[in-house]
Amino acid sequence: MNVTSNHRVRFGDCDPAGIAYFPRLLALVDNAVEDWLVATIDLDRAAMHLDQHLGLPTVELTTHFVQPCRLGETLGITIAATHVGATSITLAADANVDGQQRFSVRLVQVLIELETGKPCTWPAAWRNVLAPIPALQQEASNVV
């Protein structure tokens, strides 16, 4: 499932030239990932952390910038899952302004138990939702 959320580039996101500073853009991608989680598995990070005691930290990140993002623009950031493993998920984020690509991000996140910091397998309810994503069916048979 692809989920697009809109994020306005604000003054605090920019350098003095009005160009968005890249760490702030990555924070906007993280916000879009939160929106994707809610739309996909119906769970926000507060519930994931506080109720489920699970986390989904990023362990790998690749970014490709195409054009600068500028003060006042609204970025449409689309998140799509491209691969689901036994404990991980690969997400693609594409950021556009009025149909023009500004940057893309590929990130790998691993589901962990917050108390131990160790990877854990996807809960059954989440696996059912994520099942149509490539590789989950193949790896599901390998999970005990």
Coil, helix or strand for 125?
A: helix
CATH C-level class of 3-140: alpha beta
Closest CA to 55 of 139, 125, 131, 118: 118
Q: Could you tell me the residue ranges of all domains in the chain?
A: 3-140
Predicted pLDDT at 139: 46
How far lies 72's CA from each of 97, 126, 142, in Å?
11, 36, 48
How far lies 78's CA from each of 12, 124, 135, 141, in Å?
22, 25, 21, 30
Rounded CA gap, 69 and 28, in Å? 12
Coil, helix or strand for 27?
A: helix
What phi and psi, each to the nearest 5 degrees, are found at residue 27? -65, -35
pLDDT string in tens for the chain (144-residue length) = 899 999 999 999 999 999 999 999 999 999 999 999 999 999 899 999 999 999 999 999 999 999 999 999 999 999 999 999 999 999 999 999 999 999 999 999 999 999 999 999 999 888 888 877 776 544 444 443
Q: Is 87 exposed, middle or buried (0-12, 13-18, 19+ CB in 10 A)?
A: middle
Predicted pLDDT at 144: 36
Predicted pLDDT at 135: 62
